[in-house]
Amino acid sequence: MSRVAYVNGQYVPHAEAAVHVEDRGYQFADGVYEVIAVTRGALVDEEPHLVRLERSLSELRIAAPMGRPALRHVMREVIRRNRVADGIIYLQMTRGVAPRDHAFPAGAETSVVMTARRTRPPNPAVIRDGVKVITIPDIRWERCDIKSVALLPNCLGKQQAREAGAYEAWQVDARDGTVTEGTSTNAWIVTRDGEVVTRRADHAILNGITRIALVDIIAGQQGLKLVERPFTVEEAKNAREAFLTSTTSFVTPIVRIDGATVGDGKPGPVTKGLREAYLAHMAEEAGTA
Ligand code: PMP
């Protein structure tokens, strides 16, 4: 099937889609992005993704390239033209094309790129058996709340995880030993007291849209208590359960941290329950619940 990309107002064959060599996204990572899940052709949590996109743009003082109605229209068109039923849509916006100079250019137009693709259903073994994570120092900047395309530390971390046979790397704040987040996922534990713990959405992490949905789900479930606070690697290793969340991993159980077994080494009941609840939320978003 031939794929189509949206580039600055045009739908072009994916293989030919390109931006200028002096695009500031290319030269300075001066841009932001979003990844939104598509289920049965519907966008999952579209509204909070657009809110986060607008926030990322405004924090970096990049002009929004189009209004929300136009953006919604183009997203749907990209999904339709790529015949994506279950997959993702990727949006990237950069400060535009200008002669290379660190300071903001006058009058550059925000560049917009969108692509969409189908994704495979999650590997059943990952959900049945859980995954391993390693821990690495968090070497990123102090505005990880902005969904910037500057992802080099995240790429290095993910590669390190892969080479260690792990699914993800949890980044650790060297100052206090607390886990900030994964390289492309948020980090959670369930304590021995049964509390669900995740870091509060400060500048040290990206406030995941899956995280936000799960915070809501937990608030609506009787008998589950959420505590938003940092936790250390030691605490996580001694937790009853651990899991990670993201648009593409949903809720994924973790059974090993740096080789230490979490709980009884199997995905725990709280994680399983939250995964089910999150999948139900996705189905609801698609109008198929
Ligand atoms: N943290 C980081 C650093 C990420 O890149 C992502 C995925 N974009 C997440 C957390 C999870 O966010 P979301 O649930 O919105 O996919």
Do 15 and 61 have their domain in common? yes
Q: Which of 118, 136, 158 is the last residue of a domain?
A: 118
Predicted local confidence at residue 289, as pLDDT: 60
Q: What mean pLDDT is predicted for residues 10-22?
A: 97
Predicted local confidence at residue 222, as pLDDT: 85
Q: Is 219 exposed, middle or buried (0-12, 13-18, 19+ CB in 10 A)?
A: exposed
147 belongs to the catalytic site: yes
- How confident is the model over 220-255, as pLDDT tens digits? 988 899 999 999 999 999 999 999 999 999 999 999
The minimum-distance atom of ligand 1 relative to the CA of 247 is 16
Mutate to test the pocket of ligand 1, among 53, 155, 185 (most ligand atoms within 8 A of CB): 185
Phi, psi at 193, each rounded to 5°: -85, 0
Do 233 and 163 have their domain in common? yes
The minimum-distance atom of ligand 1 relative to the CA of 181 is 1
What's the rounded Cα separation, in Å, for the pair 43 and 15?
Answer: 25
Span from the CA of 1 to the centroid of ligand 1 (angstroms): 29
Do 64 and 167 have their domain in common? no
Its pTM stands at 0.97
Confidence of residue 1 (pLDDT cuts 50, 70, 90): low
Count of structural domains, the chain: 2
- How confident is the model over 48-88, as pLDDT tens digits? 999 999 999 999 999 999 999 999 999 999 999 999 999 99
Q: What mean pLDDT is predicted for residues 198-205?
A: 98
Do 204 and 73 have their domain in common? no
- How confident is the model over 150-166, as pLDDT tens digits? 999 999 999 999 999 99
Q: Which of 91, 118, 145 is the last residue of a domain?
A: 118
Do 99 and 142 have their domain in common? no
- The pocket around ligand 1, CB under 6 angstroms, is made up of 35, 154, 181, 184-186, 206, 208-211, 245-247
Span from the CA of 125 to the centroid of ligand 1 (angstroms): 22
- Spatial CA neighbour of 87 closest among 148, 35, 158, 125: 35
CATH assignment at residue 55: 3.30.470.10
